[in-house]
Structure 1
């Protein structure tokens, strides 16, 4: 039915009187005294329209005291750019799943069911146990997924690595850890994140040389800030993590430790053979301990034996199922513990998971809060930032040229944890890439 503007103007007064009576039923007492925002002055010819906005929903949730709800803040309505015509047209790529990625503050993230399944397959692939250490007992489902989701939301990430297991050699480091750390750095840089590495002060020059060569050979696109942590007083960790020591101004959103010596319950640091290497390790653990009390900082520990920083989350399983676990188990927990047969594999998997999340339309839309247009990175640009066999082989050669040895055998050779690069690590990289880039 069509009404002319003349007719509407002539009946406006009567309409508003009738409308006021109707609004009283809805609980609206006075149009000129809204509960939120400024009053709207109707003009002749206007047709008032009323609907329940997000603030109405917030009031309802507040009254019902629901333990969990999703809504929007005033003026920030969620408007999706993908209409759903009918539920029968929805496929796995379009069905969102919700995961909690932080409790301080409470933070949830969205990802499609299809991407979730791909990342779970990555987690399964890296969970093989070539050293028969018993790592299957340390596995918790979706730690890789939740860690990667948290990293996807982060703006600034701090990574640490370095396990000086070869205390009788110089340098004492092993070939597990740095490759996985650099693989994560490469992908985080491609995604526009700020990334820094913190290492033992004694190993700063060693790490600087490795990172410089990684840039020269195209393994990394950009140089990485290299930091060291010195504990001078009780506030050293807080001052390192936050601007002017203010816990409301953290410099980093996420901390990652990969194959980093972790402090045991007796305060010492042990290699797998139960030898104390505390004299070679800076107390970077305290950054993770302090971060637990700073709102907005989450953390990940990546390890393959339970004596690595962050794997304190599964320390009881380490003590029960891992050789020498009663002594070597790391006591410092991270929010997420990514367990892999070789720690480098965990770093590769994180890089692959970040690639998948960036190409997940549901997650990407959620990260940008549905504001503006899609910021999906150019696929070829991100693909070149994934770990591949050639890059990882070149990086391992750089480590060997610096005198860094295999973790299990101590060999100065193209191997990691006693496993040769070719046919073992190369095959793992190819499997992860195939899962990641498969359409």
Structure 2
């Protein structure tokens, strides 16, 4: 370790004195001043100060602004008593024209002599920015190992491919720190850091570093390599060294900063409610304040590549309520036996991270009729599609060749009636050889270039273990079904494609994930059970309800500040969702009127109720009023019920 254990018990003021005296034991400040905030420091010419403050406000996660000094001010009364920023950091970086020219142990000589090339200190403004070292003490108290301290190393810092929101002359990539966290302790680490927004708050990414454009964890851009232990997950926090990148890119005539890992030690306790925390009317942006109700929970949404996502306790609770509503079983199919907790939530999180989604539906259960399709599936598919479009995702609909003309007409009418936000491509898949699925899913058959990052099947006939497709009565309808299952099978081996299956009987594509339950607990289960799994298997009393719930869940995630912050890496955050955007998302939720209109369109095209084959306003033998309309109303009530922050 770079400093002896005796230093660990000293107060920030005592440590600042030792730093001022050039105590050789203090190389970095990681592990020091336990219980207190630490600060990144940037010193800029006065004419750049307003631009830099705007840059901080636009990027609150990496640059939580604790204090902006007056021109020439060397102290920082709100943060520390008897401090002198020119002497109280163990190592400083000196920049000229955007280039690092040297490191020094004091800035006292700068601006002291009238002839100094540096110009007068009175022209300089100091910015103090929160630092992740400020939450390490709380991590240890929560039982979360701090590997960089254990290994006696400076923290690993990486320049990412993620661009900060520019402001004035400042524009640069986000820099992050990485801490290895045991998978079982991710929630604890997220909660502790969320409650300390002055020290960068909750993580901005958990999982594969390639999502951030980081190619090699063993080669940090700043600091030292911190090694993962077995069972650890790489967790990334926004880092104040982003400010150094801002200096390099803006090329001021002269600037200073702390040397990465050598922070300014403040007298501010690391407890957000502390009376020493800057008051609400200080420079601290309102959206860096911690709301306990928005404390995030952590969920794994992808194994290959590894990806976790965050959503607030409030949003998670609502999505679980949606899952309860759609789990009702008025048709008495016994669907509750297939239920798996949080499949809806994980699917919605994965879809939220997606950019291009392919949705497939179509269950030709009425093989004696033309068309053979049923009214369950298309409404849920369109409900998901229109919400995904509203959120800026690319959406493609995938159908059987036999049904292209009919489905194109249905999509066109849905757009005309305002049920679907905009027209979407309608495509088919034909099994033309062993690589057909790979070429369909990926550009030029290159598994590193997928066209879609999520496949969703809702009430889509799924292949059984004998290669056939069965309706709930055990009738083989293989002759009416294209081999879209092959895409779900191929997707398992393509990094970056996640899959969801939505069903209400166990014979639907994706329900292979709960195949054993279907075989043992559902009528004719050993014959009809789908053999093809999806990453997430959402079960519902009626499959359409699962589609409605996904649309509602996506709305909840995109109105969840904690999830939005995670998606945006803490950059360019608005204190509240813009009203026009919120209105668009709300307008694209499923509604009783829209779903009734769409069901009438299906009936007009001769599509029948699944259970009864009635050409009527019903789905799976349940009339739209009151059964389906009631479920839709209840889903909307859960979704739009306000949460007090």
TM-score bucket (shorter structure): 0.7 to 0.9
- The 5-angstrom pairing of residues 184-195 of structure 1 reads 184-195=384-395
Match of 2:273 among 86, 101, 107: 86
CA offsets 1:215-235 (integer angstroms, 9 cap, x no match): 011111210100000111111
Q: List per-residue Cα deviations over 1:24-81 (Å, max 9, x = no partner).
A: 6989xx999xxxx967444633999997555275557416556124124888869xxx
Aligned: 1:149 with 2:349? yes
Q: Return the structure number with greater relative CO, CA threshold 8 A, min gap 6.
A: 1
Instruction: Report the Cα distance in structure 1 between the residues aligned to 2:102 and 2:517, rounded to whole angstroms.
Output: 63
Determine the structure 1 residue equivalent to 2:233.
68
Report what 1:99 is aligned to.
Answer: 299
| TM-aligned CA distance change 1:86 to 1:306, over 3 Å | same
Larger Rg: 2
Question: 1:376 pairs with 554, 577, 580, which one?
Answer: 577
CA contact (8 A) 1:237 1:290 kept: yes
The alignment status of 1:212 with 2:412, answered yes or no, reads: yes
3-state DSSP of counterpart to 1:264 = coil
- Secondary structure at 1:93's aligned position in 2? helix
Q: Matches of 2:545 and 2:631 in 1, distance apart? A: 8
Shift in Å at residue 372 of structure 1? 1.5
Structure 2 CA distance, aligned partners of 1:127 and 1:348? 12
Mapped partners of 1:347, 1:369: distance in 2: 28
Say if 2:504 is the partner of 1:304.
yes
Could you tell me which runs of 5 or more consecutive residues in structure 1 were left unpaired when the two chains were aligned.
1-14
1:327 aligns to 2:527 (yes or no): yes
Go from structure 1 to structure 2 and tell me whether the alpha carbon gap of 1:142 and 1:67 turns closer, same or farther (over 3 Å shift). Answer: same
Counterpart among 385, 390, 405 of residue 608 in structure 2: 405
Q: What residue in structure 2 maps to residue 21 of structure 1?
A: 24
For 1:77 and 1:118, the matched residues in 2 are separated by: 36
Which residue in the other structure is 1:7 paired with? Answer: none
CA RMSD of the aligned region, Å?
Answer: 3.0
Alpha-carbon shift at residue 22 of structure 1 (Å): 3.8
> Does structure 1 retain, via aligned residues, the 8 Å contact 2:304–2:496?
yes
Match of 2:13 in 1: none
Q: Which moved more, 1:177-186 or 1:49-58?
A: 49-58
> What is the rounded CA distance, in whole Å, between the counterparts of 1:167 and 1:276 in structure 2?
9
Q: Is the 8 A contact 2:178 2:235 kept in 1?
A: no
Matched, 1:390 2:455: no
- Write the distance in 2 (CA, Å) between the matches of 1:369 and 1:316: 40
Cα distance in 1 for partners of 2:552, 2:512 equals: 25
Length, aligned pairs only = 416
State the SS of the aligned residue for 2:336: helix
Whether contact under 8 Å (1:111, 1:362) holds in the other structure is yes
- For residue 373 of structure 1, report the CA deviation from its aligned partner: 2.5
Indicate the residue corresponding to 2:567 in structure 1: 367
Q: 1:431 to 1:73 in 2, by over 3 A?
A: closer
- Quick one: structure 1 residues 122 and 24, their matched pair in 2 at CA, closer, same or farther if it must change by over 3 Å? closer
Q: 1:198 to 1:346 in 2, by over 3 A?
A: same
Cα shift readout 1:290-333 (whole Å, capped 9, x = no counterpart)? 00111111010000000000010000000001000000000000
SS at match of 1:21: coil
Distance 1:107 1:412, change over 3 A: same
CA contact (8 A) 2:328 2:541 kept: yes
TM-score normalised by the chain length of structure 2 = 0.60
Instruction: Tell me if structure 1 keeps the 8 A contact 2:361–2:459.
Output: yes
Check 1:402–1:247 CA distance in 2 against 1; reply closer, same or farther (3 A cut): same
Displacement of 1:92: 5.0
In structure 1, the partner of 2:452 is: 252
- Name which of 425, 434, 449 aligns with 1:225: 425
Partner Cα distance (2:416, 2:488) in 1? 32
| Structure 1 residue 130, shift from structure 2 partner | 1.6
For normalisation by structure 1, the TM-score amounts to: 0.88
When you count strand as a share of all residues, which structure comes out higher?
2
Q: Which residue of 2 aligns with 1:163?
A: 363
Is the contact between residue 238 and residue 570 of structure 2 (CA under 8 Å) also seen in structure 1? no
Q: Distance in 2 between matches of 1:411 and 1:148?
A: 33
SS in 2 for 1:370: coil
45-54 or 257-266: bigger deviation: 45-54
